[in-house]
Amino acid sequence: MAEAFQFELVSPERLLVSEKIESVVIPATEGEMTVMANHAPVMTTVKPGVVTVKTVGGQEERYVVFGGFADILPTGCTLLAESATAVKHIDRADLAQRIQDAREDVADAKDDHSRTKAEEFLHQLTTLEGAVIPA
Amino acid sequence: MPSLKELRNRIASVKATQKITKAMQMVAAAKLRRAQEAAEAARPYSQRMGAVLANITAAVGDGGDAPALMTGTGKDDVHLLVVCTAERGLCGGFNSQIARFARDHIRRLLAAGKTVKIICVGKKGYDILRRDYGSLIIDRIDLREVKTLGFVNADAIAKKVISLFNEGQFDVATLFYSEFKSVISQVPTAQQIIPGAAPAVAQDDAAGGAIYEYEPEPGAILSDLIPRNISVQIFRALLENAAGEMGAKMSAMDNATRNAGDMINKLSITYNRQRQAQITKELIEIISGAEAL
């Protein structure tokens, strides 16, 4: 059995998870990464996506995060999410609203740089929607 | 001297008021508990945010390419004050305390020849500041429709502030709110958010000497992190305010209930005395009438 380490998922409103886990998959900006115990110290930003937590018992729990960043140390991992919910509690209307907002941002973008950024965000959101909501 | 009937009405109306203030006190107590819980739940995030920020600024520090939000514009001519107050009154001196504190600050800045701009969060602060500095208020944010304060609300305010900063509208931003010390004491506080001071690096944990890998580069993370940190600080201020407002309201309503009780006692004594006087008067009239026969 793999070694357990401390994982914390924190959103501004509350502490969602704080427990010993086996591994966690984080949707980092530069690609998904799996974190296990004794990971090298990494600091990374997180894009909107699904965080999969594998607990010591072997169960998998999935959370949706909307951006944030992760602080990874050999002894533990802290994910500071801008907003996070368990996949089973996700509110479709809320997600649709976010996508709608992102679309408006793309339309409102003034220069190329902000447009690229907004488009990227929109793309991440739509991928997320496809991932969590069964067609 | 008011008549018996007037006194009776008076007592009834004070009793009704007492019932209302009592109910408001209980509502405030319940809301206070919720507000305190929310403030506590938000604490881990801001703590960790502080730690991460400290680490990363230490890493970027040498590069010298810290974003302007942190270093400032190098001037301090134009000040932006974000004054957070409650949306409702009837909470003792809570709102006027913050407003007075902000007003003193404004006076000092104006005396020093600075330009001042104000953003009011909450209706009450706007109502008070409008009288003296109406022309300085550039925006007001209404949170009356908001039932439970979420991070999104704070984020919206932060975005507004940051976009103003990017347009070069101000050099220094200060946040005014009331720090929640206890139910009976809220201390008005000013906190500078732009340029933000980097928190000191925490020495205690195992990460003290760890060399981080950054993905993407530290600069990119930092420029993502700083605006978020401003949102977090505003969020914390709003939560403290919410708890403070409810605490102040609770003690104000407690006082009002007690005052109403005192008033009822006093009025009852007057009422009884007068009733007695009336009875005595009537008896004297009857007796003297009988004697005259």
Q: Which two tokens stand for residue B19?
A: 């019932």
B94-111 vs B123-133: helix axis angle to the nearest 10? 40
Listed residue (B221, B255, B246) closest to B58, CA to CA: B221
- Sorted by where each begins, the domain ranges of chain B are 44-249
Q: Are residues A50 and A108 in the same domain?
A: no
Total count of domains within chain A: 2
What does the alpha-carbon distance between residue A124 and residue A44 come to, in Å, rounded to a whole number?
A: 17
> What tens digit of pLDDT does each residue of B36-78 get?
888 888 888 888 888 777 777 777 665 556 677 777 777 888 9
> What tens digit of pLDDT does each residue of B173-225 get?
999 999 888 888 889 989 888 877 655 554 444 444 557 788 777 777 877 88
- Best of A80, A83, A110 to substitute, by most chain B Cβ atoms within 10 angstroms, is A80
Q: Are residues A73 and A105 in the same domain?
A: no
Mean pLDDT of chain B: 86
Query: Against a cut of 0.90, is the pTM above it?
Result: no
Residue in B closest to A16 by C-alpha: B41
Q: What is the CATH number of the domain that holds A17?
A: 2.60.15.10
Cis bond leading into B216, ω under 30°?
A: yes
What does the alpha-carbon distance between residue B218 and residue A43 come to, in Å, rounded to a whole number?
A: 8
Q: Are residues A59 and A81 in the same domain?
A: yes
Q: With bands split at pLDDT 50, 70 and 90, how would you rate the model's confidence at A12? A: confident
Q: Do the Cβ atoms of B206 and A45 come within 8 Å?
A: no
| Dihedral in degrees, nearest 10, Cα atoms B26, B30, B35, B37 | 150
B212: chain A residues, CB-CB within 8 Å: 41-43
Q: Are residues A70 and A99 in the same domain?
A: no
What count of residues does chain A have?
135
Q: Are residues A75 and A19 in the same domain?
A: yes
Q: Provide the 8-state DSSP code for B202.
A: P
> What tens digit of pLDDT does each residue of B241-255 get?
999 999 999 999 999
Residue B186 near residue B97 (C-beta atoms within 8 A): yes
- Backbone phi, psi, residue B137, to 5°: -75, 120
Q: Are residues A12 and A46 in the same domain?
A: yes
A29: chain B residues, CB-CB within 8 Å: 215-216
Q: Are residues A46 and A112 in the same domain?
A: no
Q: With bands split at pLDDT 50, 70 and 90, how would you rate the model's confidence at A134? A: low
Q: Which two tokens stand for residue A50?
A: 């699904």
How much of chain B, in percent, has pLDDT values that exceed 90?
A: 42
Q: Are residues A31 and A46 in the same domain?
A: yes
Q: Are residues A25 and A67 in the same domain?
A: yes
Full residue range of the structural domain in which residue A104 is found: 91-132
> What tens digit of pLDDT does each residue of B118-148 get?
999 988 989 999 988 888 999 888 888 777 7
Direct distance between the N- and C-terminal alpha carbons of chain A, in angstroms, rounded to an integer:
35
Give the residue-averaged pLDDT of B257-270: 96
| Structural domain B44-249, CATH architecture | 3-Layer(aba) Sandwich (3.40)
Compute the 3-state secondary structure of chain A and give helix, strand, coil in percent, each to the nearest 5. 30, 45, 25
Mean pLDDT of chain A: 83
Checking if the pLDDT of B278 tops 60, the result is: yes
Task: Give the residue ranges of DSSP H helices in chain A.
Answer: 92-108, 112-132
Q: Are residues A15 and A72 in the same domain?
A: yes
B151: chain A residues, CB-CB within 8 Å: 11-13, 82-83
A1 contacts chain B (CB < 8 A): no
Rg (CA), chain A: 16
Q: Are residues A79 and A100 in the same domain?
A: no
Checking if the pLDDT of A110 tops 50, the result is: yes
Q: Are residues A40 and A18 in the same domain?
A: yes
